[in-house]
Amino acid sequence: MAVAVGRGFLLQPSSSSSFICNDVNKSSIGITSAFLPAKSGTTRRYLATVVRAQQRPTWLPGLDPPPYLDGTLAGDFGFDPLGLGEDPESLRWYVQAELVHARFAMAGVAGILFTDLLRVTGIRELPVWYEAGAVEFKFASTRTLFIVQLLLMGFAETKRYMDYISPGSQTKEGSFFGLEAALEGLEPG
């Protein structure tokens, strides 16, 4: 018996050791069954099941990806059980959000490695990265650091959002402290 679960399916075993797959789209799984002819002089016939690979890898083998996830995006394995990417504009926003998250993750790893290198070599006396948030810095209070971070990140995120809404608008004269030429021709994000 096949039970629908969101956009996928779950195969439940029957009381015997075999699966009942009558309601499942077998072409998407890649199952082909055929009875092999009996050899001459014997009365037995054997059922042969052949499993073939899918056209495209998916997050759960055997599932058909949603039609709007056509494999053109990086890392697209057809995973969208809630249907959040059905709207093309939302999907475009999610792509940009993933780029930003990936860049923050890479910057975080670089920061961890760089500060640990300075700490281990004895160049600077820095805390271990996972204890750095508990350290009180002498040059500024935690509140001051938080406000400065809000202002700087708010500025950067506002510029990024404005360029997402109107691509190329942030390369116009006077929009980025005279550094517009360096940003010209780049895609949003």
Binding-site residue positions = 98, 101, 103, 179
Q: Identify the band that residue 84 occupies on the pLDDT scale cut at 50, 70 and 90.
A: very high
Binding-site residue positions for chlorophyll a = 98, 101
CA distances from 176 to 97, 99, 103, 185, 186 (A): 22, 21, 21, 15, 14
Angle value at C-alpha 77, between 74 and 83, nearest 5 degrees = 100
| Cβ burial, residue 33 (10 Å; 0-12/13-18/19+) | exposed
pLDDT of residue 188: 64
Q: Identify the band that residue 50 occupies on the pLDDT scale cut at 50, 70 and 90.
A: low
Binding-site residue positions for chlorophyll b = 103, 179
What would the pLDDT profile of 100-153 be if each residue is shown by its tens digit?
A: 899 999 999 999 999 999 999 999 988 898 888 788 778 888 899 899 999 999
What would the pLDDT profile of 86-107 be if each residue is shown by its tens digit?
A: 999 999 889 888 988 999 999 9
Angstrom distance (rounded) from CA 168 to CA 183:
9
| Cβ burial, residue 175 (10 Å; 0-12/13-18/19+) | middle
pLDDT of residue 47: 63
Residue holding tokens 């920061």? 111
What would the pLDDT profile of 3-41 be if each residue is shown by its tens digit?
A: 444 444 444 444 444 444 444 444 444 555 555 555 566
* Strand partners of residue 92: none
Angstrom distance (rounded) from CA 8 to CA 43:
40
The secondary structure element, H or E, covering residue 48 is strand 46-51
pTM value is: 0.56
